[in-house]
Amino acid sequence: MEKTYEPEPAINYQIPKPDGSKRSIMAFSIPDAALANVVLKRTRDRNTKRLSPSSYAYHPDKNVFDAVLALQEYDHDGKLFAVQIDFEKYFDNIPSWYLDAKINDAKKISLTPHERYVFDRFMHHRSAEPKAYNAGKFARRYKGTPQGSSVSLLLANLANHDLDVKLASTAGKFVRFADDVVALCSSYDQAQRIEECFVGHCRASGLVLNGEKSPGIAIISDETQELRTYPHVDYLGYRISDAGLSMPEKTISRMKTRASRLINLYLIQYLNVGYNKSRASIHPKQYDWDLLGLIYELRRSLYGGLSEADLHGFIFDGKKLPKMKGLMGFYCLLDDPEALRELDGWLLSTVRRAMKKRQQILQRSYGAKCPLPTNRELALGEWIDPTAWRGGDSPETRMPSFIRGWRAARKHFYTFGLEQVQAPSYGAYTDVADLFDY
């Protein structure tokens, strides 16, 4: 068979990252994406036993939960040292010569000639940003892996396979999820050997360490030690410490940002570009379509499509839930829910303030009114007059709760384990705070 396959040029979307930079995501045509999925599945199934067991993003039977639990369960002897290293734009900067060497190394991976050819074509595909795409101004890839294509999973894993082998030969425990690597050990000598594994791997592969985002060696302790000391390790959206698993401040802040955008979009933004008076209640205690829409959207994000009745029936009556999903499903491992209680209070207050601003805009510009619920009325769903509802079943008007979602997820975890908790797939994973959208 002739090797004539060439993927159609991909659309290069530049996705903003929290630090102000952008992530390049490639959108391939449906046939090319389907081929990539088939090739990935076949090659991964054939090579699973050859991949590092500490590489959690690529094994079909492992996920984020396994990586977090592996770190939490590390039984250290004496002091706990952590080594955290970040690669500079890992997916964008993996040298092609290094990837070429890896996919052609039969000692590292088993590929058919045609699979190897498909990987090569994706490694050197063409792309253009949306504005340049119709003009046919395509650039060809000469380094890195195409994020957005499933072939990137195996290519990026191969690029760090030698590092995994070296880390596995040292004492301690390490986990890797894509390019996010954390290693734990019990002595400074071990930590130095682990750090040298990273430095040596960069020399051999052409990868570059990100000095600004690489804390390096630190002691994990609540008390100041002779070296750089941190009270915890933050990894994949969780905070790991002797006190258990909690939520990092950065993740909390980004959750608030996402929720604030939804609140503004539903309650404020459209009022500035035009308004249909029939959409808002004329009198307090009648329903407000936009507030109701916001509540349903927040509930979808937090509970993954489960209803308040589903959660209540499971928590109090023992009724079985379908697969646990959503943001709170992801945080079923949390030991300390205090941050969630604070988030609940913040959410109620933020929505109430937005409703006051909404009322001001409606009265000033349109002579209309909307409900002005208290925190209690929002929390209990008592902001709506049931007699004002026309149609089928009454809507669920309670503001969704981080704590309520966590209680259901936690009980589900203890009752059924993690098998029925839906973790984010690698394709959805960039930063775990992005889970507000999954």
Residue 438 pLDDT exceeds 80: no
- C-alpha distance from residue 368 to each of 62, 78, 283, 362, 390 (Å): 54, 66, 9, 5, 21
Region of poorest pLDDT, from 16-20, 42-46, 327-331: 16-20
Closest CA to 375 of 396, 354, 389: 354
pTM for the structure as a whole: 0.85
CA dist., res. 109 & res. 274, Å (int): 59
User: How would residue 427 be classed by pLDDT, with cut points 50, 70 and 90?
Assistant: very low
Q: Compute the average pLDDT of residues 161-186.
A: 90
Q: Which DSSP state fits 95?
A: B
Exposure b/e, 348-385, CB count within 10 A at least 16 = b = beebbebbeebbebbeeeeebbbbebeeebbbebebbe
Structure tokens at 279: 């959409």
User: How would residue 437 be classed by pLDDT, with cut points 50, 70 and 90?
Assistant: very low
Question: Residues 352-368: pLDDT tens digits?
Answer: 999 999 999 888 887 88
The pLDDT of residue 94 is 93
Q: Is the dihedral of CA 412, 418, 419, 421 positive or negative?
A: positive
CA dist., res. 200 & res. 197, Å (int): 5
Residue 20 pLDDT exceeds 80: no
Contacts of 374 (CB under 8 A, 6+ apart): 352
Mean pLDDT of the chain: 87
- Distance between the two ends of the chain, CA-based, in angstroms? 41
CA dist., res. 61 & res. 68, Å (int): 15
CA dist., res. 287 & res. 397, Å (int): 9
- C-alpha distance from residue 122 to each of 26, 141, 142, 145, 148 (Å): 11, 9, 10, 8, 11
Phi, psi of 108 (to 5 degrees): -100, -35
Question: Residues 309-329: pLDDT tens digits?
Answer: 999 999 999 898 877 888 888
- Which position has the higher pLDDT, 78 or 414? 414
CA dist., res. 268 & res. 167, Å (int): 52
SS3 370: coil
SS3 114: helix
Question: Residues 372-412: pLDDT tens digits?
Answer: 999 999 999 998 877 777 767 788 999 999 999 999 999 99
Closest CA to 205 of 90, 124, 302: 90
Q: Compute the average pLDDT of residues 201-227.
A: 88
- Dump the DSSP string for 236-263: TTEEEETTEEE--HHHHHHHHHHHHHHH
